[in-house]
Every structure is written in C-alpha cells, then in structure tokens.
Amino acid sequence: MTQHRYLLTEDRIPERWYNIAADLPTPMPPPLAPDGSPISPDMLSAIFPMELIMQEVSQDRFIPIPDPVREMLALWRPTPLYRAVNWEKALGTNCRIFYKYEGVSPAGSHKPNTSVPQAYYNAQAGVKRLSTETGAGQWGSSLSMACQLFGIECKVYMVRVSYDSKPYRRLMMETWGGECVASPSMDTNSGRAILEKDPNSTGSLGVAISEAVEDAATRDDTNYSLGSVLNHVLLHQTVIGQEAIEQMKMAGAEPDVVIGCAGGGSNFAGISFPFLAEKFAGKEIRVLAAEPAACPTLTRGHYGYDFGDVAGLTPLLPMHTLGHSFMPAAIHAGGLRYHGMAPLVSHLVNTGLVEARAYHQGECFAAAINFSRTEGIIPAPESSHAIRAVEQEVEQAREEGVSRTILFNLSGHGNFDMAAYEAYLSGQMTDYELPQSELDEAAAELQGMPAVGG
Amino acid sequence: MTQHRYLLTEDRIPERWYNIAADLPTPMPPPLAPDGSPISPDMLSAIFPMELIMQEVSQDRFIPIPDPVREMLALWRPTPLYRAVNWEKALGTNCRIFYKYEGVSPAGSHKPNTSVPQAYYNAQAGVKRLSTETGAGQWGSSLSMACQLFGIECKVYMVRVSYDSKPYRRLMMETWGGECVASPSMDTNSGRAILEKDPNSTGSLGVAISEAVEDAATRDDTNYSLGSVLNHVLLHQTVIGQEAIEQMKMAGAEPDVVIGCAGGGSNFAGISFPFLAEKFAGKEIRVLAAEPAACPTLTRGHYGYDFGDVAGLTPLLPMHTLGHSFMPAAIHAGGLRYHGMAPLVSHLVNTGLVEARAYHQGECFAAAINFSRTEGIIPAPESSHAIRAVEQEVEQAREEGVSRTILFNLSGHGNFDMAAYEAYLSGQMTDYELPQSELDEAAAELQGMPAVGG
C-alpha cells in the first residue's frame, strides 16, 4: 500500500514559533506612523497586548509557544501531510506531490493557528473583548472559536458581500458565541461615513479593518485582532511549515518547490518560512506564492508604504499594494481579496527570495475539481490557486524532462464555498484581469507616501 | 499536556470487517420476499453485485477488506479518537469521555466507509452506474465521491425537502461528478405516481429508495446502492469500532458505555459492533442507541416485518418500524428520518443487548453547542443525539456517585447544517413528539405482514 499520509502525535506540535525576521539576508524596512515618523511599540498598545507587540518587533529566531496555546492547538494539530498519490496518477506525472492539509481545524482552515494564541495573550492581559474584520468568514469564525475557548467576547465586522452570500459562516461565528455584523455597519464612524456616501456599499476588507480598529481604539475593554499581514500573525502560522519539515522527513523526501496561495500572506508564510530557513542555510528550494489575477498584489502591485485599511487608521506598512482604496473584483476566493500583502512576504518577493505568480479563478477551479475527484477533499477557492500553481510546476517539469518534489499548503476546505463551485460547474464563472488604469490610479494614490528605504 | 488525540497510521486500517452475524447469541430472522416466502441471493442480483450479496448473507466472522478499498479509505482513515478534555471540564464530571471522529472524511461523515467498498465491488463486477437515494445528502455525496474514485457514474435521488434546503450538498455531489435530482422525480414510475397525487410532495427517504431501486432494476448498466440498514453496509462501518478498540488501548481505557446515534443504524453499528463482540466474550459494556423523539423507531416502533421503502419494492425486513408509509416530521437531523431500522440493530435491541433512548432535537442542539464551544468541532445534527445521550450518562454517573468511561461516535460535522443551528440559536426550533395516533396507524398498516419468528 503506497503511503498517503504522514501523521504526528500532539507532543510533536512545535514548541516554538520560527521568526524569519532573525534570518533575513537584508533587514526589513520598519513600519511608520501615518505622518512618516518611526513607530514605537507604545503606539500599538491601545489595541494590542504587549506580548503580541513584542512578537511583532522581535528579532529572536524562536519564540516559545505557551503550554495553554499548545493544548488548544492540540484540538486539531498536528495536521496531516499527504502524498497526493491519486492526483499524481491522474496528472500522469513522475513528480511527487505532497500537501499539508490545514482544513482539519474546526473552522476548516489554517486561521485558528493564530486566533488561538491571539485570544490567549489577550485573555492573559485581562482583555475582555476582541474586535476584528473578516472577508470570506474564515478568520471571523476562527477568532470566534478561539475567544470562546478562552472565555472572552468577540465582535466581527464581516464584509457585506460575504455576509449576504455566506450566511453559514456568520452562523458558525454565532454558534461559537461571536457577534457578527455586516460591514460597513452603523456601529462605527468609519462605517457610518461610508454608508452615508453609499447606502448600498458591499464593503471591503479595508473598510472592515477600519471599523474593527476603531471599535478597539474607542473601547477600554476591547483589543483588535488581525488574521493576516502582521509579523506576529505570520509567526504563529509557522507551526505549519515546522510540522511539514518533520513529516517530509518521515516521507524520506525534500521539496524542490514549496507553494502556498497568498492573500494577506499568512498561510503562505506558515508553510514556507521554515523552509526558507533551510534555503538561507544553503538548501536549494524554490518558494512560490500563488495569487489571483484579479487582485495581483505581488505580481503587479506597487512596492512601497501604504495603509492597511481604507480609512488610514493603521500604521504605514512597507508592502506590495494596489492602493488602500482599491476595491477588488468579487472573485470567489474572498480570502485573497486584499489590496496589500504582508510586509515580510513583500520583502521576500522584493529581494528575490520568493517567486510570485497570478492565476485566473477559472483555471484554479478547474484544477481544484480535478484534485477533489482524485484526492476527495474539496479545496477552498483560496487554496485552489496553490493547486493551479502545482499543475503548472508539474507541466514545467514534464517539459524539462525532470522529476520534482512539490509541497503545497492546502489551507482549507471548500465546504462553505459550494456556491462558487456551482458558478464554475454551470459555466457562470468569469475571469477578471485587472486593467492597467486601476494600477495607474493606485500609483497616483501612493505618490505622497514615503518610499521604502527613502 | 493532557493527551487529546489518539492516532493510528494507515497501515493500521483494519484488514477485515467484523461480521456480527457470526456471533449473535440468537440467530437473525431472515429477510422475506414481498409475498412472505424465503428470499434467495439470486433475487438480489438484479441490483447488487454478487460480492455484496454474499456479504449480506455471510456467517463468516471476518471478511477481508480488499487492498484497493483500504488504499482509498487511507485518504482519511484511520480517523482520530479524541478525549474530550475541555468538554469534561465544562461538564464538571469525573467521567472520562472519548469520541471517535468520522467527520474527517472528505464528505464529512462516516458514510464513505461503505460507499468506497460498494463502488469498488460494483466497478469490479463491470457495473457502469449506481443509483441511490439520499436524505440530508451525506450519503449521496459520499457515493458520488466513491463512484468518481472508481470511475463509474452515480445518480442520486435526493429527498425534495433536503434538495431545496441544502443546495450545498447537491453541489458537492456535482463537484464529484454525480447527478442529483429531487425526489419524487419525473425520472421513475414511483416518482411520477407520487407527483401525480401530490405535485408539491416534499418526499421522504422511503420514496427516494423506491425511485433508486426502480432505476437500478430497469437499467442493465445500473446497480442500486444503499447507505444504511443492510447487513453489508453495517459490516463496512465496523472499521470505526475496530480502530476505536486499538485507540482506547493506546489511551489505557476501556469504555463502560458505547454510544451512537441511530437513523438507519450504520454509524451506530460501526462504533458498537466490535465492542459488542467484546461483550459477547464476557466484557461488561453497555451499548446505547440514541434516536430522535420525532422518529422513535427503536423506542416506540413495532418490531416485525416491513418494507424498506414506500412503494414496497424491497424485500420484507425484520425490523423496528413506524410503518413504511410513515412520513417523519421535518426535524433537522435528516439522516435520522427513516421509518425503519437496520435488522441487525433491531434484533440486538429486541434481544436486550442494546439499549435505546429517544431525544428531542432542542436538547440535542443545546448539547451540541456546548460541545462545539469546548471541543471546537460543530457536530452534525444527527451526531448531536449521541452527544445528548452522553450528557445524560454523565448526569446519571454523578447521581450514582461513580466515574464512568464513555465512548461515543461523532459521526459527522455540521458544516452543511448551519441553518439548523440558526433555527436553534434564534429560538425557532420546535420539538415534536410523535402522537400515539400515528403509531396506531403504523400498527394497522403492519397487520397483514408476517410476524417475526411466525
């Protein structure tokens, strides 16, 4: 029997997170205050607990994972690593394809890897309530679950278009005791301002972030929590790659290519950063980020300072961006519809350590369906971008006449995204290529911003 | 760190199914032809392959699992066994609670344990197409997946009320290449006859079975496949309990009570039959089936011969039944809305080897939400009945001042059932107690049937 699955027992949950900041060949540009001045940890303490702020700025290579966090992660971790035996056969390839499957978490994606420690550190700091935004709902449900596990409240601002089209995700939050409102909402100044201009606004992640940050900044009992982009969030996801390294050893294999989809960058960082540590140490590994052609931050965006949200409430972050007022097309991979990209991932792409490619959603769904018909699991639309990238790598290996070992992160399942599959299967799905004019608008918006390294 | 999870590698997938028929202290009454005469394997060969017919009537204690079946089961098996550490704390109990989690299969329930071997044996026999019925959609999606994996077609008759309320389950079938129609449909005589009388019929499992059986009986290329009730289906599910025995050993624990929810009886049989083998060998184990008060087959139904379907196309089965024309109330646990019960489970209840209890859906959802807020996983409405039974066992142990070890089967997740959670959370869920008048109707309907042992 060909082995499909490589499992680790819960005592093998990593005992520390890997902080790639300690190993970067060239240092990261710092975040800046909105006026361009340096930002200090103090400025963040209105909305984050000190432990997370220290992680955000840490240069330590490893940061210990507290025992109560590991205990909660053990509800589903370590996650399995699979060899895609059936899919390989269907592709007719001599490449070996492995995938790390994060969909086994109760919320169905990698997101609880960071919601659990974030809820824990906030509860430890005496915070009673967390506010956050969510796009497709994966993050909002993950934070609702984690808050419930540590006994604190959770308020989620959910992008209106998803709130309306994905009621099950909202219900999941409520089942776990979270409160979920459609964003823009009447609960915040940011939300009210947008609804005043456009009562039918379908919202965006940038808008929802503004609302959640405002909520936390204006309430003493409340902190803010973000599901991607920031250094400490990416840090928490490195349990994925650390486990995968152990599991690839069990399989007697080393990846030539490591692939993840990238929206804000957290699942991509989770699978790839521990392998990048091996690359820094001399191993030959290519690392590839797969993003949507409709929101091509890494492949076509500007690299510079920009706000993380629409209202300009966040610090300025050095990142690939399509402009903070960019409104992405309504593609089905809601988790990839973000105007920016994690500064760490942006820096790695900018310095040539990570490759990036953009894919249309149609080709991604076609790939995901082939995958599901051989491996069983129906992938999340976000993860389908990684699957499409794997197909391309397989094709390229075939053309070059070589066999490669490919590892990708299957960041979540598509149980809550079946409407997207219907759109594809019924021929109603359209591809969307970002026109140059929108990039020009973004460039104009970013002209006043400080330059990276400037 | 308290251990939560007990894992087995895929080489520990059982190599044989356990056939409880070989060990029964009193023999099973046989199925009968509709006219009351004995039924022979030949009569079943129009709709089943010979391998499955032989399993249906086998008296062998163990039946080997073919390698290609084990290979496919390895896509998700062995499933994890959990100790419900957090839930125990929340319940304030000194009982130890373990659960076997079958929701990790790509379809999200235990159903693929039998859809995979059924598709395999049919494909081996040269069958090109399978027809089946589905209630909540768990079985239809599981068979669609399995047919796709072995390269044959799948046609699913889905009870209309679920077809309309659970579009995601239908889409799952289509993603895996299955064809799904609402039942009653215009595709069969049985369906057309019912639509003629009542064009707005919302259907039932009994109706859908009639359609699927007719489809298979009238097409040369097509066999029929059933997701529960029959001996060979229960047989295939015994991988659950066999794995659980190994995993309980890893945990250094032996269950005092084994609990499963029971609709047609297959997940219940899967977790309990291997433990019943230990009971037959002298171990003190109680085994408990949890069913809905709105469809109380085991606790209030008649024990005798009845048809498995509405139209009377199936053989007569010796079982607990509410009458084959019984239309269960529209409770949310669609998988438990069946008028009958597996003959093997019925026989075990009838001979006092298995206990049965009925629960209202409101108390079951309350229990499921408590579970989800401590263990993370949101249970399927069906499984919530087992969870409620565990709560009752915990309460009883408290009253008796004893500590017990309880094992239950968490047969699936509730990702496709969030509308049911909404009904509960918004106070819209009503309980339904079957009135005596409906039982009287059933008794009248069953008067002409042969008696068991008669």
| ipTM for this model | 0.94
Q: Is the distance from CB of A350 to CB of A303 less than 8 angstroms? A: yes
Domain with B317 in it:
67-108+232-439
Chain A CB contacts of B145 below 8 Å:
376
Q: Residue B27, class by beta-carbon neighbours within 10 Å (0-12 exposed, 13-18 middle, 19+ buried)?
A: exposed
Half-sphere exposure of B228 (CA within 13 A, CB side): 32
Decide: helix, strand or coil at residue A199.
Answer: coil
Identify the sign of the CA torsion A38, A43, A49, A50. Answer: positive
Whether residues B10 and A1 touch (CB distance < 8 A) is answered with yes
Peptide bond just before B184 cis, omega within 30 deg: yes
Which of B69, B101, B415, B421 should we substitute to test contact with A (largest number of A Cβ atoms within 10 Å)?
Answer: B415
Which amino acid belongs to residue A390?
Answer: V
Q: Is B373 in contact with A3 (Cβ distance < 8 A)?
A: no
* pLDDT tens-digit map of A109-137: 999 999 999 999 999 999 999 999 998 89
A266-302 pLDDT, tens per residue? 999 999 999 999 999 999 999 999 999 999 999 999 9
Residues 6+ apart with CB under 8 A from A157: A131, A132, A133, A134, A181, A183, A185, A187, A188, A191, A208, A211, A212, A215
The distance in angstroms from the start CA to the end CA of chain B is: 58
pLDDT of B454 strictly over 60: no
Residue A8 CB: number of other CB atoms within 10 A?
18
- A121: which residues sit within 8 A by CB, 6+ positions away? A49, A51, A52
In a domain, B192, yes or no: no
- Cβ contact, residue pair A172, B378, below 8 Å: yes
Question: Is B274:B238 a contact under the CB 8 Å cutoff?
Answer: yes
Per-residue pLDDT for B141 more than 80? yes
Q: Which of A34-43, A173-182, B164-173 has the highest mean pLDDT?
A: A173-182
**Contacts with A142 from chain B: Cβ below 8 Å:** none
Note whether residue A294 is domain-resident.
Answer: yes
B297: enclosing H helix or E strand: helix B297-300
Pairing of strands B302-307, B153-159: unpaired
CA distance A304 to B107: 44
Chain A residues close to B172, C-beta within 8 Å: 378, 418
CATH number at residue B342: 3.40.50.1100
- A9 → closest Cβ in B7, B176, B373: B7
Whether B355 maps to a domain, the answer reads yes
DSSP state of B449: S
Does A199 fall in a domain? no
CA distance A381 to chain B (A): 13
Q: What is the pLDDT of residue A300?
A: 96
**Among partner residues B148, B167, B415, which is closest to A415 by beta-carbon distance?**
B415
Q: Which residue has the tokens 């991932």?
A: A345
Indicate whether A335 belongs to any domain.
yes
- Whether A145 has a pLDDT exceeding 70, the answer reads yes
Nearest neighbour of B177 by CB, restricted to A75, A373, A375:
A373
pLDDT at A332 over 70: yes
CB contact under 8 A, B106 and A71: no
A168 contacts chain B (CB < 8 A): yes
Cβ-Cβ contacts under 8 Å, B175 against chain A: 369, 372, 378, 418, 421, 425
B 334-393: CB under 8 A from A: 369, 372-378
Stretch 63-122 of chain A: residues touching chain B, C-beta under 8 Å:
67, 70-71, 74-76, 86, 104-108, 112
CA–CA separation, A85 and B335 (whole Å): 32
Q: Do A376 and B76 touch (CB under 8 A)?
A: yes
3-state secondary structure of B362: helix
Distance of alpha carbon B101 from alpha carbon B86, whole angstroms: 16
- Using an 8 Å CB-CB cutoff, list chain A residues near B167: 418-419, 422
* The pLDDT value given to residue A34: 83
Q: What pLDDT is attached to residue B226? A: 95
Nearest Cα to A261, choosing from A137, A323, A354, A343? A354
B171 in contact with A, Cβ within 8 Å: yes
Q: How many CA atoms lie within 13 Å of B300's alpha carbon, on the beta-carbon side? A: 19
CA dist., res. A246 & res. B66, Å (int): 31
- The verdict on residue A170 lying in a domain is no
Distance from CA of A356 to the nearest CA of B (A): 29
Tally of domains in chain B: 1
Q: Outline where A359-430 has alpha helix (H).
A: 361-375, 381-400, 418-425
pLDDT tens per residue across span B85-123: 999 999 999 999 999 999 999 999 999 999 999 999 999
pLDDT higher than 90, residue B234: yes
Biggest CA-to-CA distance, chain A: 63
Q: Which residues of A touch B79 (CB under 8 A)?
A: none
Give the pairing type, strands A96-101 and A81-83: antiparallel
* Closest CA in chain B for residue A418: B168
CB B271 within 8 A of CB B241: yes
Does B195 map to a domain? no
* A7:B7 CB<8 A: yes
Both tokens assigned to A38: 């340096």
Instruction: Please give, rounded to a whole number of angstroms, the shortest distance from the CA of A16 to a CA of chain B.
Output: 15
CB-CB contact of A148 with A241 (8 Å): no
In a domain, residue A317? The reply is yes
Phi/psi of residue A367, nearest 5 degrees: -65, -40
In this structure, are strands A316-321 and A355-359 parallel, antiparallel, or unpaired? Answer: unpaired
pLDDT per residue over B26-76, tens digit each?
Answer: 999 999 998 888 887 777 888 999 999 999 999 999 999 999 999 999 999
With an 8 Å Cβ cutoff, are A171 and B419 in contact?
Answer: yes
Nearest Cα of chain A lies from the Cα of B152 at a distance, in angstroms, of 12
Chosen from B175, B179, B247, B365 to mutate, greatest number of chain A CBs within 10 A: B175
pLDDT score at B451: 85
Name the strand (E) or helix (H) holding A300: helix A297-300
Per-residue model confidence as pLDDT tens digits over A342-370: 999 999 999 999 999 999 999 999 999 99
